[in-house]
């Protein structure tokens, strides 16, 4: 039997679940344990602080929760623990790269470039406003600017001129701290040639704006089962995520042929069991706007009456009787069985 460790946060919570009770308490950890045990796993539940680094984790599966805490301070701690476990030989699912990319658009773009180096967004990323200014001649508006951290289209701006690029970059990269800035000014006055720290050090990305899109699709893939939501862009806006405008689920999602094959292929290239994909289609080609491989929203799965699964080269809608815990465990189990 295969050992698996489920790592919860300091509250005892694991993962994301739209209809969690209490609010934002994640998946039912007891149900997860029972489901894994029914599938012949030996289950241990721990929190991050109780992980020992003197043990041998070779051939042990580790699944873990993410975090979207304020300033991502606890997430940084989670990253330390998961990277440590991965370096000790644990089979971390998903791998550390996907934790690093979660709520981190800069690193997500770095991962994207591994499998899609010619992607149409031509994304550039910067750690300071000054770096953008130094490279402004490489930016060709209209472009989209995004804070590296954030979801639901927060911290996302459309810039139609280079002046707007700099203005919006200044807004989303701001890191002003009155006490620190005063001390830095004193250093500048005392030490000739001293260059003060930038007051705009929040990392961000700049990418091509794709015009004439009326909607995108949120597709959740749990190994080989796909759940889909169509998200229409409001008139006068350019963002679909988080608006709630004219959402259509499952068989009503008006999706183009080939979307599920595209999503499965993308998931397989990233080598993860479960994934959330924001997908757009320009009439000829599909492309990924963003992806997450852990701690992603589950609304699309929980509100869908049907999911889609391929049988004899045809994507068939099937009644969705899965809880989020059941479909999550299904994805992990099938992924592991194919790797074992």
Percent of the chain with pLDDT over 90: 84
Report whether pLDDT(242) > 70: no
> Average pLDDT, stretch 242-251?
86
Q: Which structural domains are found in the chain, ordered by start? A: 2-101 (3.40.50), 122-208 (3.30.1490.20), 211-339 (3.30.470.20)
- Output the pLDDT for position 153: 66
Q: How confident is the model at residue 231 (pLDDT cuts 50, 70, 90)?
A: very high
Q: How far apart are CA 323 and CA 205, in angstroms?
A: 36
Give the chain's mean pLDDT. 94
User: pLDDT tens across 121-177, in order?
Assistant: 999 999 999 999 999 999 999 999 999 997 766 789 999 999 999 999 999 999 988
Strand order across the beta sheet in which 124-126 lies: 124-126, 204-208, 143-147, 156-159
Distances in Å between the Cα of 70 and the Cα atoms of 103, 172, 208, 222, 248 are 12, 16, 29, 28, 31
Report whether pLDDT(106) > 70: yes
Q: How confident is the model at residue 212 (pLDDT cuts 50, 70, 90)?
A: confident
Q: In this structure, how many other beta carbons lie within 10 angstroms of the beta carbon of residue 19?
A: 11
Q: How confident is the model at residue 35 (pLDDT cuts 50, 70, 90)?
A: very high
Which tops the pLDDT comparison, 150 or 22? 22
Report whether pLDDT(50) > 70: yes
Strand order across the beta sheet in which 41-47 lies: 41-47, 2-8, 61-64, 91-93
Q: How confident is the model at residue 251 (pLDDT cuts 50, 70, 90)?
A: very high
> Average pLDDT, stretch 14-24?
96
Report whether pLDDT(318) > 90: yes
Asked whether 145 and 168 are in contact (CB, 8 A), the reply is: yes
- Output the pLDDT for position 63: 99
């Amino acid at each position: 039997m295969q050992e698996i460790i489920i790592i919860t946060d300091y509250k005892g919570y694991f993962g994301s679940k739209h209809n969690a009770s209490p609010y934002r308490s994640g998946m039912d950890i007891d149900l997860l344990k029972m489901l894994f045990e029914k599938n012949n796993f030996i289950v241990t539940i721990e929190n991050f602080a109780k992980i020992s680094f003197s043990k041998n984790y070779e051939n042990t599966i580790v699944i873990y929760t993410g975090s979207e805490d304020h300033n991502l301070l606890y997430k940084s701690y989670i990253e330390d623990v998961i990277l440590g476990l991965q370096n000790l030989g644990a089979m971390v699912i998903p791998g550390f790269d996907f934790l690093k990319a979660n709520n981190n658009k800069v690193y997500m773009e770095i991962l994207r470039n591994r499998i899609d180096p010619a992607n149409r967004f031509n994304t550039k990323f910067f750690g300071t406003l000054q770096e953008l200014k130094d490279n402004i001649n490489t930016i060709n508006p209209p472009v989209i600017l995004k804070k590296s951290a954030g979801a639901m289209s927060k911290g996302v701006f459309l810039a139609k001129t280079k002046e707007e690029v700099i203005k919006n970059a200044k807004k989303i990269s701001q890191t002003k701290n009155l006490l620190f800035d005063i001390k830095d000014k004193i250093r500048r006055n005392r030490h000739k040639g001293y260059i003060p720290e930038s007051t705009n050090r929040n990392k961000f990305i700049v990418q091509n704006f794709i015009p004439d899109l009326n909607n995108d699709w949120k597709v959740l893939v749990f190994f080989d089962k796909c759940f889909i939501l169509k998200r229409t862009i409001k008139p006068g806006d350019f963002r679909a995520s988080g608006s709630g405008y004219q959402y259509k689920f499952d068989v009503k999602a008006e999706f183009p042929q080939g979307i599920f094959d595209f999503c499965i292929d993308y998931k397989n290239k990233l080598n993860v069991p479960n994934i959330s994909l924001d997908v757009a289609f320009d009439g000829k080609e599909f492309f990924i706007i963003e992806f997450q491989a852990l701690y992603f929203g589950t609304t699309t799965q929980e509100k869908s009456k049907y999911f889609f699964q391929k049988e004899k080269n045809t994507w068939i809608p099937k009644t969705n009787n899965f809880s989020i815990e059941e479909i999550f465990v299904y994805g992990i189990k099938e992924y592991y069985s194919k790797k074992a």
